[in-house]
């Protein structure tokens, strides 16, 4: 096949996969989950002030979420292994939406922590099941693109969702940021319900999959992922209080700055 024809075929395949509405439904769900995961980092000082706790204790909310993803994902995956995959995705989005609703109305720090742990339970399992569903929606030669398209929602969450949610939370209160995520979860669940076709549950044993951990190459990749994530979250978790302390820039103008601006105006 000539290079020009191969290029045109590749371009057509990319256009077709971008128009694949079930994949877009999964991407919307990934956008909501990603926004919910990272949005709390920019609101850490607000949470600390509201619940009268220290910044390090407020940071435990991020730790609890991460541990829930790490420990809860395999447990939830095993629990949903025999479910039809579309039903499993809908149940996970239901947990996600209820968890963010609980975060928005949590009256105490401990209840907010519990709500974050509940929300995180769906995180790893959704991306695991969603990747399989996305791969099965397209021909074999487009599976990598399909999975990448689903995870593009997670990328957009970091670029658009988290900054927008942080701005809303700083302007109207941190609870408003979680309220804004609830309709995203509902829209994602509706999109999955109407657009994603049913897929039979997997026939393999999940416990059998853990045998792959015996391979040194797999353990090396996992170690690299752990170290990368640890360094990333150590910085990002406390990015808001760090910027406020180092740059002395606050999301809300200080009284002294407001007074100086008022006196300088004619």
pLDDT at site 18: 59
Neighbours of 74 (CB within 10 A): 16
N-term to C-term CA, the chain: 73
- Which tokens go with 207? 């416990």
- Tens digit of each residue's pLDDT (9 = 90 or more) over 18-27: 556 899 999 9
Tell me what the pLDDT averaged over the chain comes to. 85
Percent residues over pLDDT 90 in the chain: 56
Best CA proximity match to 201, nearest among 57, 81, 26, 65: 81
Best CA proximity match to 98, nearest among 178, 175, 163: 178
Tell whether the model's pLDDT for residue 10 goes beyond 80.
Answer: no
Q: Under 8 Å CB-to-CB from 143, ≥6 apart: which residues? A: 134, 135
Say if CB 68 and CB 121 are below 8 A apart. Answer: yes
Tell whether the model's pLDDT for residue 123 goes beyond 50.
Answer: yes
Tell whether the model's pLDDT for residue 113 goes beyond 90.
Answer: yes
Q: Tell me the backbone φ, ψ of residue 217, rounded to 5 degrees.
A: -65, -40
C-alpha 39/C-alpha 256 separation (Å) is 29
Q: Under 8 Å CB-to-CB from 249, ≥6 apart: which residues? A: 243
Percent residues over pLDDT 70 in the chain: 83
Q: What is the DSSP letter of 95?
A: H
pLDDT at site 15: 52
Say if CB 200 and CB 84 are below 8 A apart. Answer: yes
Q: Under 8 Å CB-to-CB from 210, ≥6 apart: which residues? A: none
pLDDT at site 206: 60
Averaged pLDDT, 188-194 = 95
Instruction: State the pTM of this model.
Output: 0.84
pLDDT at site 8: 44
- Tens digit of each residue's pLDDT (9 = 90 or more) over 70-106: 888 888 888 888 899 999 999 999 999 999 999 999 9
Neighbours of 91 (CB within 10 A): 18
């Amino acid at each position: 096949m000539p290079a020009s024809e191969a290029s045109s075929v590749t371009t057509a395949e990319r256009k077709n996969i971008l128009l694949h509405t079930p994949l877009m439904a999964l991407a919307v769900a990934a956008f909501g989950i990603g926004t919910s995961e990272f949005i709390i980092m920019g609101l850490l000082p607000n949470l600390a002030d509201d619940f009268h706790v220290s910044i390090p204790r407020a940071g435990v909310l991020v730790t609890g979420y991460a541990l829930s993803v790490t420990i809860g994902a395999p447990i939830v995956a095993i629990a949903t292994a025999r479910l039809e995959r579309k039903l499993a995705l809908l149940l996970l989005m239901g947990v996600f939406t209820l968890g963010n609703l609980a975060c928005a109305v949590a009256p105490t720090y401990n209840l907010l922590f519990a709500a974050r742990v509940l929300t995180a339970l769906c995180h790893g399992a959704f991306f695991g099941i969603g990747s399989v569903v996305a791969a099965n929606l397209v021909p074999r030669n487009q599976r990598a693109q399909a999975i990448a398209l689903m995870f593009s929602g997670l990328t957009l969450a970091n670029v658009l969702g988290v900054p927008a949610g942080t701005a809303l939370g700083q302007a109207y209160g941190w609870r408003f940021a979680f309220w804004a995520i609830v309709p995203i979860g509902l829209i994602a669940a509706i999109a999955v319900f109407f657009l994603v076709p049913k897929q039979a549950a997997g026939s393999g044993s999940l416990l059998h999959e853990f045998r792959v951990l015996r391979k040194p190459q797999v353990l090396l990749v996992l170690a690299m992922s752990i170290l990368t994530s640890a360094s990333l979250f150590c910085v990002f978790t406390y990015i808001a209080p760090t910027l406020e302390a180092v740059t002395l820039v606050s999301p809300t103008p200080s009284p002294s700055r407001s007074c100086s601006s008022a006196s300088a105006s004619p």
